[in-house]
């Protein structure tokens, strides 16, 4: 007689299903009262067998999780008359091009061709506490899943209890009496003389083997395991996100240091030029060629250049502190890597994943999806808790006044107990818990959509930044080239006697200031590349030998 378990979901969609009815049928159509009596008055064995099959098969209550559909999106910016506002695949962005078919390597930072960045990230992956914390959290969740899966199996335990007891004579009715070895454990009374009742002294031993089993009839444990497995997957993605975030932070700090070193070098040259110009003007003042106000203005200009140098040096020290922290070091533990902008190369080609791929690549989106899965399973747990609960316990063992007689005549015992319980009144507690689980499912669905929208915004922002910073770099390069040419012309004029040396110094100062703008523009371009790789998911799925969730 086949058993069919049917879950009916009435009035709810699959995203937040409401399993409200359970049918168990025998696979045969019952017609007439006589047929009804014949089936339901069968012998006890058949009815017990049917019940046992139902207990073993069980049903998982609640909605079955369905993976959210990928957003219907063709790009990362609105359509316009001229097409996408963001760069199209193959369109040049400065010296770079986008390629939708380009793979995103796990070690994307190596594309900068900086051995210093590579070695620092390798050290950070090994020593940074955030990685170790995420790894421990993953192992903890793995153990939680294993622990919950253990409830699918019976629990078995053994016990041994030896004890010695004095039984009051006045409590003789509770004496153990005759034992299997012939000893009679009984209180005694005085047959002659003063009336009194003597106590009984005895040793006793009890050994047992206990087995307990809770059939997962309505799938409560299955849904709990499902929820924990989803949380385990979410934790795996959290670990991947930790790796990506750490690598991105290290690259950003390295680029910041390289930029600051170059800016400091240029600013120091500007200060030297300001000093040189000030000395010239002081000599001119003595000769009466200029006024004191001109000298005062130059002194102010020199002071401003010196002031601009101080925060750059401060920021460099703060950046070094950050790099030491990212590497897992204390402030007094130096890292050997030093970063120069001239040793870092800009990748010529950039990946540009399609929107449908982004939801599969971003660890934060995948983690949010698993949290949604977990919330869906928790609804089933809450529904199952409102249905009858089943348990089976059994014990076998022996007891006697001496250990050798525990399993001989009179000592062995066993017990077998089945229990079915159903909550009839709890002031709405279980119903409220189910309602709370459903609201958490709605919340998790909204959180998932929020993460997706934020991720798409992140990519769009990065693409716009790449285009804008490419334009800014191009303008900064033109400005630097023009001012450099002006400084060279002024220097030639000075050699020919058509310009003063002071004009040469001023032209050189302008050129150096344009170099600072160019350095900042280059640094922004490098930073945009790192931000793009992070925004597209960091390539965790391409890690060699990866066992990550796909």
**pLDDT at residue 14 greater than cutoff 70:** no
Helix/strand/coil (H, E, C) string of 208-247?
Answer: EEEEEECCCCCCHHHHHHHHHHHHHHHHHHHHHHHHHHHH
Q: What is the pLDDT of residue 175?
A: 84
Which of 53-62, 247-256, 411-420 shows the lowest mean pLDDT across its residues? 53-62
Which of 132-141, 184-193, 334-343, 461-470 shows the lowest mean pLDDT across its residues? 184-193
* pLDDT over 90, % of the chain: 66
Q: What is the pLDDT of residue 100?
A: 86
Q: Note the helical H segments in 20-114.
A: 33-40, 44-57
Q: What is the pLDDT of residue 502?
A: 84
300 falls in which pLDDT band (50, 70, 90)?
very high
Q: What letter would DSSP give residue 32?
A: S
Higher pLDDT, 177 or 224: 224
**pLDDT at residue 119 greater than cutoff 80:** yes
Cα 396 versus chain centre, distance = 47
**pLDDT at residue 28 greater than cutoff 50:** no
Which of 27-31, 105-109, 216-220, 307-311 shows the lowest mean pLDDT across its residues? 27-31
- Ordered structural domains, the chain, with CATH: 1-57 (no CATH), 79-150+219-375+431-542 (1.20.1600.10)
User: Over the stretch 154-174, which tens digit does the pLDDT of each residue have?
Assistant: 999 999 999 999 988 888 778
492 falls in which pLDDT band (50, 70, 90)?
very high
Q: What are phi and psi of 284, to 5 degrees?
A: -65, -35
Q: What is the pLDDT of residue 415?
A: 95
Q: What is the pLDDT of residue 110?
A: 96
User: Over the stretch 348-359, which tens digit does the pLDDT of each residue have?
Assistant: 899 998 888 999
Q: What is the pLDDT of residue 348?
A: 86
**pLDDT at residue 150 greater than cutoff 60:** yes
Beta bridge partners of 200: 167
DSSP states of 313-325 as a string?
Answer: HHHHHHHHHHHHH
What is the average pLDDT across 227-232?
Answer: 97
Residue written as tokens 């910016």? Answer: 77
Q: What is the pLDDT of residue 193?
A: 62
Q: Please, what is the Cα angle at 123 between 120 and 127, to 5 degrees?
A: 135
Closest CA to 201 of 163, 177, 166, 162: 166
187 and 169 Cβ atoms separated by less than 8 Å:
yes
What is the average pLDDT across 228-251?
Answer: 97
Closest CA to 58 of 3, 14, 16: 3
Judge if pTM exceeds 0.85: no
192 falls in which pLDDT band (50, 70, 90)?
low
SS3 content of the chain, % helix, strand, coil (to 5): 55, 15, 25
17 and 379 Cβ atoms separated by less than 8 Å:
yes
Average pLDDT, whole number, for the chain? 85
549 falls in which pLDDT band (50, 70, 90)?
very low
Higher pLDDT, 509 or 195: 509
Q: What is the pLDDT of residue 493?
A: 92
Q: Residue 372 to residues 296, 379, 382, 431: CA-CA distances in angstroms?
A: 68, 11, 16, 21
Other CB atoms within a 10 A radius of the CB of residue 135 amount to: 13
Q: Please, what is the Cα angle at 520 between 261 and 507, to 5 degrees?
A: 85
76 and 452 Cβ atoms separated by less than 8 Å:
no
CA distance 420 to 54: 14
Phi-psi domain of 114 (left: phi exceeds 0; alpha: psi -120 through 50; beta: other): beta
DSSP states of 431-453 as a string?
Answer: HHHHHHHHHHHHHHHHHHHHHHH
CA distance 228 to 276: 71
Q: What is the pLDDT of residue 58?
A: 56
Burial class (CB in 10 A: 0-12, 13-18, 19+), 486: middle
Beta bridge partners of 93: 96
Beta bridge partners of 227: none
Residue 268 has, within 13 A of its CA and on its CB side, a CA count of 8
Closest CA to 519 of 260, 317, 281, 275: 260
Which of 37-46, 103-112, 137-146, 239-248 shows the lowest mean pLDDT across its residues? 37-46
Q: What are phi and psi of 20, to 5 degrees?
A: -120, 0
Burial class (CB in 10 A: 0-12, 13-18, 19+), 6: exposed
Q: What is the pLDDT of residue 546?
A: 55
Of the chain, the end-to-end C-alpha distance in Å amounts to 41
**pLDDT at residue 15 greater than cutoff 50:** no
Which of 52-66, 98-112, 139-153, 468-482 shows the lowest mean pLDDT across its residues? 52-66
58 and 223 Cβ atoms separated by less than 8 Å:
no
């Amino acid at each position: 007689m086949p058993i069919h378990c049917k879950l009916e979901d009435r009035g709810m969609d699959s995203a937040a299903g409401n399993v409200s009815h359970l049918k168990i049928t025998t696979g045969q159509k019952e017609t007439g009262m006589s047929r009804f009596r014949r089936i339901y008055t069968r012998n006890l064995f058949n009815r017990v067998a049917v019940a046992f099959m139902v207990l073993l098969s069980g049903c998982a209550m609640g909605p079955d999780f369905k993976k959210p559909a990928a957003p219907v999106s063709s790009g990362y910016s609105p359509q316009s008359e001229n097409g996408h506002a963001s760069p199209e695949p193959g369109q040049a962005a400065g010296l770079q091009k986008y390629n939708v078919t380009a793979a995103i390597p796990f070690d994307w930072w190596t594309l900068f061709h900086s051995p210093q960045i590579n070695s620092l990230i390798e050290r950070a992956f090994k020593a940074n506490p955030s990685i170790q914390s995420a790894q421990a959290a993953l192992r903890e969740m793995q153990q939680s899943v294993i622990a919950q899966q253990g409830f699918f199996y019976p629990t078995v335990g053994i016990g041994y209890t030896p004890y010695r007891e004095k039984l009051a004579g006045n409590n003789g009715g509770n004496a153990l009496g005759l034992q299997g070895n012939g000893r009679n454990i009984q209180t005694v009374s005085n047959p002659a003389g003063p009336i009194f009742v003597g106590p009984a002294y005895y040793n006793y031993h009890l050994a047992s083997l206990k087995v307990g089993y809770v059939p997962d009839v309505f799938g409560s444990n299955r849904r709990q395991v499902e929820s924990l497995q989803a949380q385990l997957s979410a934790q795996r993605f959290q670990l991947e996100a930790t790796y990506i975030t750490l690598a991105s932070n290290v690259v950003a700090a390295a680029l910041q240091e390289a930029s600051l070193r170059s800016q400091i070098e240029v600013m120091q040259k500007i200060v030297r030029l300001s000093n040189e110009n000030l000395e010239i003007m002081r000599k001119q003042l003595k000769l009466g060629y200029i006024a004191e106000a001109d000298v005062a203005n130059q002194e102010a200009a020199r002071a401003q250049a010196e002031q601009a140098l101080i925060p750059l040096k401060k920021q460099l020290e703060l950046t070094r502190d950050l790099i030491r922290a990212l590497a897992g070091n204390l402030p007094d533990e130096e890292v050997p890597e030093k970063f120069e902008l001239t040793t870092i190369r800009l990748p010529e080609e950039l990946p540009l994943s399609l929107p449908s791929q982004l939801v599969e690549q971003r660890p934060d989106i995948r983690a949010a999806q698993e949290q949604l899965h977990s919330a869906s399973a928790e609804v089933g747990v809450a529904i199952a808790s409102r249905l009858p609960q089943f348990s089976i316990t059994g014990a076998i063992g022996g007891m006697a006044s001496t250990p050798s007689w525990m399993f001989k005549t009179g000592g062995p015992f066993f017990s077998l107990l089945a229990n079915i319980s159903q909550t009839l009144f709890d002031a709405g507690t279980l119903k409220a818990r189910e309602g709370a689980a459903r609201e958490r499912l709605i919340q998790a669905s909204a959180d998932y959509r929020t993460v997706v929208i934020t991720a798409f915004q992140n990519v769009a922002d990065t693409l716009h930044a790449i285009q804008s910073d490419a334009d800014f770099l191009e303008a900064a390069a033109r400005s630097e080239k023009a001012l450099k040419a002006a400084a060279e012309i002024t220097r030639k004029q000075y050699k020919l006697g058509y310009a003063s040396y002071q004009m040469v110094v001023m032209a050189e100062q302008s050129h150096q200031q344009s170099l600072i703008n160019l350095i900042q523009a280059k640094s922004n371009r490098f930073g945009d590349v790192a931000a793009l790789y992070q925004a597209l998911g960091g390539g965790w799925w391409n890690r060699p030998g990866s066992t990550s969730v796909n």
